[in-house]
Amino acid sequence: MPLAIYALAVGAFGIGMTEFVIMGLLLDVARDLDVSLSSSGLLVTGYALGVVVGAPVLTVFTGKWRRKNVLLFLMAVFIAGNFLCAIAPDYTTLMLARIVAAFAHGAFFGIGAVVATDLVAKEKKASAIAIMFTGLTVANVLGVPFGTWLGQMFGWRATFDAVTVIGIIALLATAFLVPRDEKHTTIDVAAETRALLRPQVLLGLAITVLGFGGVFTAFTFIAPLLTQIAGFSDAAVSPILLLFGVGLFFGNLYGGRFADRHLMATLVASLVFLTVVLVVLTYALDNQIFAVITVGILGAAAFSTVPPLQMRVLAKAEGAPSLASSINIAAFNLGNAGGAWLGGVAIDHGPGLPGVPLVAAAITVGGLVLAGISWWLDKSPRQAMNPVTSSS
């Protein structure tokens, strides 16, 4: 793989750390800022909604820039947002700072995924995306446990200081490793919008929202699930998140490899896998050994869905790669926002904290049903409804 893809992975590492590390710090933030657990969980929702808005807006805003310049600009926004998180004096300021950091997220992964796929042969495109997203998995293997430990030892603000430094390193890696002669994004907004309105593209986006939404319904509250339900100490959360990150690494890697060979079969199988693991987690929390094992498997199940979900939308949005890629990243985060919010609703007004994994599983089942419908449409005579085939 070209070195530019690994530069993108460094940026993904920084973004992944700031997105996921808040889960391990929810209790600390809630105590320090004197807010409820469900309110601190809304920091996940706010970040995700920032991605949803920022992805299309910044993708279109930078539509005539060189891709490398876009990536550098987005990393600068990311650095500014995390610095503001580190110095935020209250909950409202922290929420706004999280949203600023989130604005860079969707466009970075969207443009980055297009750059990554352009740099490799057709048969390696899903693998290239998987390697870029490996930055997210490494963030979970190393960054999130370290950030959680750092926040518990020195205060949650120290974690955002560290993320800011990582953002600077990622910016430098992008500056030196992404080729200077990279293409312009050159977005034809009208044409790409028409491509996004294709039925199979819309279905693909909906599959992403629901299929991945279940992950954040459970993972947003992983720290209280482990401490208040499974009975682990606060100090145990960080090493357990390390195991979750290891699972993410392998799930993302093999999800990409299988998606290169059998895209829809991999997508459906990964969603089935994720649903089963979320159901099992509900009961595994009664036993600490089973809980730890299941959290690790949950990491693998969660990120085995990412490469096929991203490739499915790119495959059906032919002619709209930049905007479709960014919008699908926004769809991931719309699922994250909705999942985190529904988890909070389940805690405050539903079955409570123990029922959160089952609520997560139900959301993922919705994505699985839509994936089955989309696959059936591929194989049915009504495939002609897809404008790609009828107009080319």
Amino acid at 155: G
| pLDDT at site 88 | 93
Element (H, E) at 21: helix 3-33
Nearest to 104 by CA among 33, 190, 14, 172: 14
| Residue 190 CB-density burial (10 A; 0-12 exposed, 13-18 middle, 19+ buried) | exposed
CATH topology for 3-391?
Answer: Growth Hormone; Chain: A; (1.20.1250)
> Which amino acid, one-letter code, is at 90?
D
d(CA 209, CA 18): 20
The residues near 207 (Cβ < 8 Å, ≥ 6 apart) are 267, 309, 312, 367, 370, 371, 374
0.85 cut: is pTM over it? no
The DSSP 8-state label assigned to residue 320 in this structure reads -
How far is the C-alpha of 207 from the C-alpha of 344, rounded, in Å? 22
Buried/exposed 96-124: b ≥16 CB within 10 Å, e otherwise: ebbbbbbbbbbbbbbbbbbbbbebbeeeb
**Interatomic CA distance for residues 181 and 186, integer angstroms:** 14
* Domain ranges for the chain: 3-391
306: three-class secondary structure by DSSP: helix
Q: Report pLDDT for 64.
A: 77
Cα–Cα dist 201/180, whole Å: 32
Rg (CA), the chain: 20
| pLDDT tens digit sequence for 252-267 | 878 888 888 888 999 9
d(CA 222, CA 201): 32
Q: Low-confidence residues of the chain, pLDDT below 50?
A: 384-392
Beta strands in 248-384 (DSSP E): none
| Confidence (pLDDT) at 158 | 94
Q: How far apart are CA 222 and CA 241, in angstroms?
A: 9
- Check: CB of residue 302 under 8 Å from CB of residue 17: no
- Express each pLDDT in 356-386 by its tens digit: 999 999 999 999 999 999 899 888 755 544 4
Alpha carbon distance 159, 156 (integer Å): 5
